[in-house]
Each structure stands twice: as structure tokens, then as C-alpha cells.
Amino acid sequence: MISKWRWLMLQLTRQLWVRASLFAVLGVITALLAMVVERFIPWELPSDLGSDAVDSILNILATSMLSVTTFSLSVMVSAYSAATSSVTPRATRLLMQDSTTQNALATFMGSFLFSLVGIITLSTGAYGERGRVVLFVVTILVIALIVVTMLRWIDHLSRLGRVGETTDQVEEVAAEAIAERLRHPALGARPADAATTLVSGTTLSADRVGYVQYVDMAALEAAAEAGKGEVMVLAMPGIFVHSGKPLARFTGECDPETLRKAFSIGTARSFDQDPRFGVVVLAEIAARALSPAVNDPGTAIDVIGRMVRVLEPLALPPEAEEPGCARVHGPALSIDDLFDDGFGIIARDGAGALEVQIRLQKALQALAEAGDGRLSSAARRHAELALARAEAALSFAPDREALRHLARQ
């Protein structure tokens, strides 16, 4: 269970400007550090080693890094646009948080500022003979870093914004969110069923409109312990709330404002604590592929296979950790909701595509037979719904019969 401060730091470090700013400051400090380091070098260095070469090298770096940074930004924006049109707009957030892209841009920007500050400092005569040699050595190291980063960046550019690469990222975050929920079914609180939500108490309502992105169970536990009461969470991450929408119900003398601050509400859903969002984005990729404008059933079939990999861990015996918040109750992840989010859209938009329906029936059969059978009910229900949609959409009788034969298995 991730703490709120760690979650906030995670959101901050995913921003491109944060990493670029850190690398830029590091580049400036590195360029100025040579003036300080030269005082602590006890031996004489060959003054002609970097006296003239460092000026020209820094000028080349400043010119080239500015061009490379501008080019990389244009490529990044083009990749975002391609992902928005060919995959789904919800997946572009993962591209914007891609560490390889951010590291490349930050390295180029930091190198540009390093060379720029070095040129300015050299023109003022602030470097001594040994300082210029130290700057020369550091410049060589910066060039080596640029070469390694550029090689990785070139390899990454060949896949950036592609449907397969973006779908891989969505599958990864969806699988991680589900794995985290399996370890903490109620995000560290005590799992509660539908009957538990009917306990009496005071209702805590939302004061803004948006999606619940994060719930700080530790803060709710502390407030419940201070108020000698209990808290029932009604709005888990991913729920859309508005003014007056219940967030929680509590007993005792808990401070409502303290409880309300434990709920982080934003304008968009987050992948971290919301496994359903990752499944929804996967389904959107398949829906976009099945649209008449794209007409790519192969991508939809690929997404169905990924959906099986993402949902199959739910069929394994639970290995949940002991809840750390004894006074807080929260609903566990609903398997039916996950199946509705993942397979409902694909069954509807792919009703007239026999190959998609065949793959869908096989995927649901695999989930129904996986693990201890806890997914069987939801899988069979969606198999029946998909068959009904396909029978209404398929006009060729042998196709309908082949699908019925597969569904009966």
C-alpha cells in the first residue's frame, strides 16, 4: 500500500518538466564545479591539453544539443498525436510519463545548458589552467553520456507511439494495478461486502467534481482512531464524484475535514489504484481497432489475449496481506465490473466480426477454466451475451452455427 506522500512524489516525478529541470540544474552545477575542483588538485596538469579544444567542443555541443532537443520535442508531439488517433487518448498519458523519453530530453537539455554555461564562464576567464583541463575531462564524459542516450533514444523512437508498444504499456500498468489489489484487496483496509456498507453513521460527502484518484487509508485509520470510530469507504479510486456524492460513512467523533483530505480528487482517472481504468483503456484500444475507420480486427484479437493475461491472476488463490487499517472498511475489487469494462465493449463493437467473436469465446473459456473457477460465473455470463450479440449481427447462418458450437463448449 503506497503512502500519500510517496504517491504525490510519484505523480511529480512523472512530469517531464521536473526531470528536465533537474538535469538542467545538474548541467549548470557541473560546468561551475570545475572552478572549485581545480583548487583541490595538488599536481600540475598539462595546460595545453584542454586550453583550446574545450572552447570549440562546447560550441559544437551548444549548437547541436539545441537542435537535437527541438527535433526530439517535435517527434514526441507527433508520437502523442499518432497514439491519440490510432490507439486512444487515455493512453497518451503513459507516453508522456515514459522514462526513456524523459531521460533523453532531460539529458539533451542538461548538456545544452552545461555547454552554454561553460562557454560563458570561459569567456570571463573564471577558469584557471587546471580548471580548463577539468572542464575538458568533464566535457568528454558528457559527450559519452550523450552518445549512450542518443543510441537508446534512436532505438526507442522506432517504437514510440506505435499501437503495439502503447498497448504493452497499458497492459503493464493494468497488470500492476490488479497485482497490487490482490495483495491489498481494499487498499490496506478491511474488505467489506455489500451488507457492511449499510452500517449506520454520518455520511461524508464530496465537495468537488471529479474522479477519485487516491485514497489515503492510513490517514483514515488515524482519524478513526482519534475519533474512536470506524470509517466505511464508499468511493474507491476510479469513482466519479460530485458535490453531495458520498465518499465515506463514519461513526464516532471523526473530523470530517480530515477524512475528506484523505481523498484525492482530480479531473481524470489514474492507473495507480484503479485497475478498472487499465482494463477500460485496453478495451478502448480494441474498440478503436474495430471501428469502420480503422477496421483492424487483428489488434482487437491481440487485446483480447492481453485481457486474459491481465485478468487471469484473479483466478489464482488469494495471497492477500493482513489489512493494516483495522478501523477502515473498503469494498474489494469486483470481478463482474472488470469483465463488464473489458469484454462488454469488444463484444458490442465486434459483434459482426466472426474472427473476433471466436477469439472472445476462447478467451472467456480460458478464464472460466483458470485457477479455482472464481471467474467462471462472470466468464459464462459474458460468453452468453457475446453470443447473443453475434447472432443478431451475423447474417451468414454457418457462421452463427460455428459460433454456437464453440460457445456450447
Q: Which residues of 167-204 are buried (b: 16+ CB within 10 A; e: fewer)?
A: bebbbebbbebbebbbebbbbbbbbbeeeeeeeeeeeb
pLDDT tens digit at each of 409 positions of the chain:
677 777 777 777 778 778 888 888 887 887 777 777 666 665 565 555 555 678 888 888 888 888 888 888 888 888 888 888 888 888 888 888 888 888 888 899 888 888 888 888 887 777 767 777 778 888 888 899 999 999 998 888 888 878 888 899 999 999 999 998 888 888 888 887 644 554 577 889 998 999 999 999 999 999 989 888 889 999 999 999 998 899 999 988 888 898 999 999 999 898 988 999 999 999 999 999 999 888 899 999 999 999 999 999 998 877 767 777 888 988 888 899 999 999 999 999 999 899 999 999 999 999 998 877 788 999 999 999 999 999 999 888 888 888 888 887 7
If we measure between CA atoms, which residue out of 263, 204, 211 comes closest to residue 232?
A: 204
H or E segment and range at residue 240? strand 240-241
Using alpha carbons, list the distances in angstroms from residue 373 to 91, 125, 312, 383.
Answer: 32, 76, 10, 15
DSSP letter for each residue of 281-339? HHHHHHHHHHSTTT--HHHHHHHHHHHHHHHGGGGSPP-PPPPSEEEEEEEPPPHHHHH
- What predicted TM-score, i.e. pTM, was given to this entire model? 0.84
